[in-house]
Amino acid sequence: MSVQERLIRYCKVNTQSDPNSETIPSSKRQFDLANLLKKEMEEIGLVDIQLTEQCYLYGTLPSTLDEESETVGFIAHMDTAPDFSGENVNPRIIENYDGEDIHLNEQIILSVNDFPSMKNYIGKDLIVTDGNTLLGADDKAGIAEILEACDWLMKHPEIKHGKIKVAFTPDEEIGRGADCFDVAGFGCDFAYTLDGGEVHIVADETFNAASADIHIKGFSIHPGSAKDKMINALNIAQEFHALLPKDARPEHTEGREGFYHLHDMNGNVEEANLHYILRNHDLKKLELQKESLTLAKEYINKLYKRDLVDVVIHDEYRNMYEILKDNPRPVEIAKKALTTLGLNVEMESIRGGTDGATLTFKGLPCPNLGTGGGNYHGRYEYCCIQEMEQAVQCILNIVELVSTKEGL
């Protein structure tokens, strides 16, 4: 198979994760892809293949060197985002893209006005959706590229390289992808997640992340006799939200600006619940965001002279730059691998997170590489075939650099 044929095959397997599930993996359907990949890994010739009960799939490409060498790993996730349907994905290829609007179906148009960066792909071949589902290139493109590189190396034993490890994880899209990852068993000196966008971008920084659950108690009584008695929890929820800075919402931020994102709210007069995600590249600023929620709670409780609001904060992942800045070698190797392809490398501070952030703090330095896709988590998702091919070559270049003195 070509790398695009792999991607199309994988995209047709529904692997959406479920944020409301407490199981690992969050959805059993992720095993459908894991079992398919396990068979492909066996056919390619990988060894020590293991599929765990938690749907983590590991494999090894044996070394072809006579001497010891560092072990490098490549990681991608199997699940797709729960934000949009992943059922009955029907990818199609747009050859020699002309830079104009793409009619995904009779009603849905991928508009260049909405997505002006599409002009960067003029003359290239794109894989797009039929407008009814997401594509799943996030992150099945990463899987396809890793296995395509492994297949190429197995078919070219004359190419000398050290031991290479691969891993495919579940539940990355709901923030649990690295929770049960066996870092010690993986046995790598460092690794890369292939879970980014444009292929020339290397990411060595993520957000620091936390979430907050706000529970508000009200007092319900017939509205006809409610004067000085009713406390409407929904109104309190609005008051709470209004205390947070409006210019620090996702729709008003970019670059290294953090945000408060009201992700979900529900309730009635008697009680209401709000769920926030908090993000900031600067850990100290994230701590101030968390403190502001506590101050908002205290203000409202004092205003109403009773304990109406409760705030529970959960820490999620940290900015991997805190570790990688003192261990820059994996990043430098990736930059050299891409430069060798004639690409102008850009460094990115991700406005999000990856499995690599958690893995880096678990002792496995793990910057993130691009896969050639974009517009993730929705019907306008796409992937560029030429960039996928470059991502495969980037993996091969990294392997070569790690196995030679050039990588030292």
Tell me the torsion sign for CA atoms 251, 139, 11, 400. Answer: positive
* Residues paired with residue 58 on neighbouring β-strands, in sequence order: 50, 167
Which listed residue (40, 139, 172, 195) is catalytic? 172
Counting every residue written for the chain, the total comes to: 408
- 79 tagged catalytic: yes
Which is catalytic among the residues 79, 151, 198, 355?
A: 79
Answer yes or no: 172 catalytic: yes
Of 408, 403, 296, 398, the residue nearest 75 (C-alpha): 398
Q: What is the 3-state secondary structure (H, E, C) of the chain?
A: CCHHHHHHHHHCCCCECCCCCCCCCCCCCHHHHHHHHHHHHHHHCCEEEEECCCCCEEEEECCCCCCCCCCEEEEEECCECCCCCCCCCCCEEECCCCCCCEECCCCCEECCCCCHHHHHHCCCCEEECCCCCCCCHHHHHHHHHHHHHHHHHHHCCCCCCCCEEEEEECCHHHCCCCCCCCHHHHCCCEEEEEEECCCCEEEEECCEEEEEEEEEECECCCHHHCCCCCECHHHHHHHHHHCCCHHHCHHHCCCCCCEEEEEEEEECCCEEEEEEEEEECCHHHHHHHHHHHHHHHHHHHHHHCCCCEEEEEEECCCCCHHHHCCCCHHHHHHHHHHHCCCCCCEEEECCCCCHHHHHHHCCCCCCEEECCEECCCCCCCEEEHHHHHHHHHHHHHHHHHHHCHHHC
Residues recognised as catalytic:
79, 172
